[in-house]
Copies of this chain bind each other. A is one copy, B any other.
């Protein structure tokens, strides 16, 4: 096990009816900006629950945060927050809304060009407005971590930043808020949370037994419950188990003392920024391709994963590893998320563009060994066609 520091001070308030707890979490004299997405919360009753809980508090609203939130949209919210002297941000939505809210929180407090926040990967953040969340999609884990991913649409740059200043003070997780999601978002969320676990688990062994067992526990849960979320969308227990899995998948716990891969995310981000694929779709494409390309390096953990999570009983390690990759691909497909570039109308012409963007972003040493070069990405993308 490697040395590590673990710190996470987000308060999680979990369960049905918990949106009412907003009342105790936000100061009565606060000036709150409610940040949300395409407006579904106004149709499904969540907005009403939120504003009822905020009775007596001064609030403003900013809707229209898109998936893979745009810098350009966030800057409009920054202007509003400044004009209204907002001092608390409440994200009501999924990972995109929360990520946007984190950027807005940092940008309101930032002097100079707000893009510096992202270009510095968060190092330029010296403060932020406090943030609370009402989560409505089990997927990114943003509700309990210090990370935000923002897209500058004008230049097709999708990049992340980290800062403890933007870690949510609290997040309310009511599984019922996810009942009315479209199947595509549910499926993407299942793939996303599963890949978060896998990025921190299918690397190389460091004898970190708790972290491995926790990862396997989350994977088993997601695999058991994910398909049920599609077939039984209003099954509370299913939604609750998936919601808690997604939060635990990326709240810092699994990464303690172990290497991380993250190549699927970094290559996938370019696919989203360039071609508009959903985040979950890019992960479903990239992870099997990277694993296939890195089979030897990853074999030991792939075998552990195959045996413990997929119960593959083959005695040949390489066969177990290959079957684990295939089972993962089939699971993504079963969730309705295609795992080949060609399924999204993309072909080998994308390869040069993706690699050029990775170089521009200086992502030229990817993976847990930092040994995936741009040429390797070319080979990996060929496996992903």
Q: What is the interface of chain A, defined by CB distance below 8 A to chain B?
A: 1-18, 207-214, 216-218, 220-221, 224-225, 237, 240-241, 244-245, 248, 256-257
Across-interface contacts of A225 in B (CB, < 8 A) = 209
Q: Quote the shortest CB–CB distance from A256 to chain B (angstroms).
A: 7
A14, B257: Cα distance in complex, Å = 8
Closest chain-B Cβ to A218's Cβ sits at a distance in Å of 6
**Separation of A89 and B216 alpha carbons in the complex (Å):** 38
Measured CB to CB, the nearest residue on chain B to A15 is: B3
The one of B13, B210, B217 that contacts A5, using a Cβ cutoff of 8 Å: B13
Q: Is the CB of B9 within 8 A of A4?
A: no
A217's partner among B14, B15, B213, B240 (CB-CB below 8 A) is B213
A12/B1 contact (C-beta < 8 A), A210-B244, A244-B210 known? no
**Closest CB of chain B to A158's CB: distance in Å?**
29
CA distance A277 to B224 in the complex (A): 44
For A216, what are the chain B residues with a Cβ–Cβ distance below 8 Å? 213, 217
Residues of B within 8 A of A6 (CB): 11-12, 14
Give the distance in Å from the alpha carbon of A248 to the alpha carbon of B10 in the complex: 17
Chain B residues within an 8 Å CB radius of A257? 14-15, 240, 244
List 17 additional contacts besides A6-B12, A15-B257; criterion CB under 8 Å. Answer: A1-B14, A1-B237, A4-B12, A4-B14, A4-B15, A5-B11, A5-B14, A7-B9, A7-B10, A7-B12, A8-B9, A209-B245, A210-B241, A212-B217, A213-B216, A213-B220, A240-B257
| Bound Cα distance A118, B20 (Å) | 32
Nearest residue, chain B, Cβ from A213: B217
- Cβ–Cβ < 8 Å partners of A241 in chain B: 1, 207-210
